[in-house]
Amino acid sequence: MSPPSASQPQGNLQSGLVRFGLAGAILLVLLGGAAFYYTSTLRGGDDASAKALRVTISANACDPNELTVPAGTTLFEIANASDRAVEWEILDGVMVVEERENIAPGFVQSLSAKLKPGDYAITCGLLSNPRGVLHVTPSAAADAEAAAQPTLTAFIGPLAEYKVFLTLKSNAFVKAVGALSDAVKAGDVETAKALYPAARAAYAEIEPEAARFADLHNSIDGIADYLAQREADPAFTGLHRIEYGLFAQNSVDGLASVADKLVADAATLQQRLKEVKAQPADLAGNAERLASAAASAIVAGEDHYANTDLVAIAANVSSMRKVVGLLGPVAPTGAKDLVANLDADVKALEAKLDALRKGDGFVPYTDASVEARQGLAQGFSTLAEHLGALNAALGLS
């Protein structure tokens, strides 16, 4: 891997531009995020619900870093006391159970998690920080709720079709990553640049399910913002590391091994998606998690060097349209209005994206105004809210 601070003047200039771009992205978070998250994000000094369990994230740890809660639904408040945007995740092994991303310094975000008994890990800001522990103890209320779950027969069809969708899309991701890797290893910078957006979009289409695998998600699609040494961090790998080399450094130096690892990770992901046994509640639940994550990350963007965020965002919307299309027909009559709202949410996001199209693609993300980005973020937030209500309407929560 080439260090981000190359000795040549051009390298220094590019590195400076990247840092300038990242500073701009952080500013967008603070400007856009502050307005958009007003209803779900509280200033750090404010009091919130007395029933919520607060976790404060400092530069290196969570306080507390070991918690115990009863099985069922718990409301957490995640306070960011560090000087960088952070994320907080509840992990069951490598699987993400719940998460909040892009929590700005000095802010608090709430997270409602429905948990089964067991021990979970919790991330504490930067990915390199030590993890905490969350103990979930059995409860009579959770046992009674589980016993009241409906028959799953109605969901056999949607689950089978979604499995086929994941198989086809993960195959496409492996193919796109292979083409990108070939171009990188051939030293063809321009071809690799042209292939990057398709590889990123292919991942975005399977992201609702793929992002549940925390280890692979961080390796394949992790961004430098959450790493201690940012672009110089050894854990900076995958699509965005290649993006950084191609678009910020205009070089494939040091990228061959990164490409090899990406190809291997893509194959591992393909196999895991083939083997995963999704539950009915996972369809809307995973889509809701991704919509919430997109709403919090979309203002600053993630393709900091290629400015191709809109391609990936459109792929995210496509994946959510698939979920809405599968679950809508099995929703009960009483959920008719909710299904109509979900369909309208997806169409509204598609319309916002259409306004940003140029030729066969989209305008560079830096050409999208803060208002346009906030509009997309608001669209994802509304979609997340309605997806969050869907499992209850289906009798799955």
pLDDT, tens digit, 9 for 90 and up, residues 368-379: 999 999 999 999
Strand order in the sheet with 66-70: 66-70, 132-137, 118-122, 86-92, 95-103
Q: Is pLDDT at 13 greater than 50 in this prediction?
A: no
Average pLDDT over residues 82-103: 92
pLDDT band at 6, cuts 50/70/90?
Answer: very low
Q: Is pLDDT at 25 greater than 70 in this prediction?
A: no
Q: Is pLDDT at 51 greater than 70 in this prediction?
A: yes
Beta strand pairing call for 132-137 and 66-70: parallel
Average pLDDT over residues 251-258: 98
Report how far residue 321's alpha carbon sits from residue 27's, in angstroms, rounded to the nearest whole number: 31
pLDDT band at 150, cuts 50/70/90?
Answer: low
Any idea which of 39-43, 86-90, 133-137, 316-320 has the lowest mean pLDDT?
Answer: 39-43
* Confidence at residue 148, expressed as pLDDT on a 0 to 100 scale: 64
Helices (H), the chain: 9-28, 34-36, 140-147, 156-185, 189-210, 214-221, 238-243, 256-275, 280-297, 309-327, 336-354, 370-393
User: Among 261, 167, 248, 172, which Cα is nearest to 222's?
Assistant: 261
188-197 long-range contacts (CB < 8 A, ≥24 apart) are 188/252, 189/246, 189/250, 189/251, 189/252, 192/242, 192/246, 192/252, 193/246, 193/247, 193/306, 196/239, 196/242, 196/243, 196/246, 196/247, 196/306, 196/308, 197/306, 197/308, 197/311, 197/312, 197/361
* Confidence at residue 142, expressed as pLDDT on a 0 to 100 scale: 80
Q: What percent of the chain has pLDDT over 90?
A: 75
- This model's pTM is above 0.85: no
**Residue 213 gets which letter from DSSP?**
B
Q: Is pLDDT at 289 greater than 50 in this prediction?
A: yes
pLDDT band at 278, cuts 50/70/90?
Answer: confident
Average pLDDT over residues 81-99: 93
pLDDT band at 151, cuts 50/70/90?
Answer: low
* Confidence at residue 102, expressed as pLDDT on a 0 to 100 scale: 85
Higher confidence at residue 95 or residue 28? Answer: 95
Q: Is pLDDT at 16 greater than 80 in this prediction?
A: no
pLDDT, mean over the chain: 88
* Confidence at residue 128, expressed as pLDDT on a 0 to 100 scale: 87
pLDDT band at 324, cuts 50/70/90?
Answer: very high
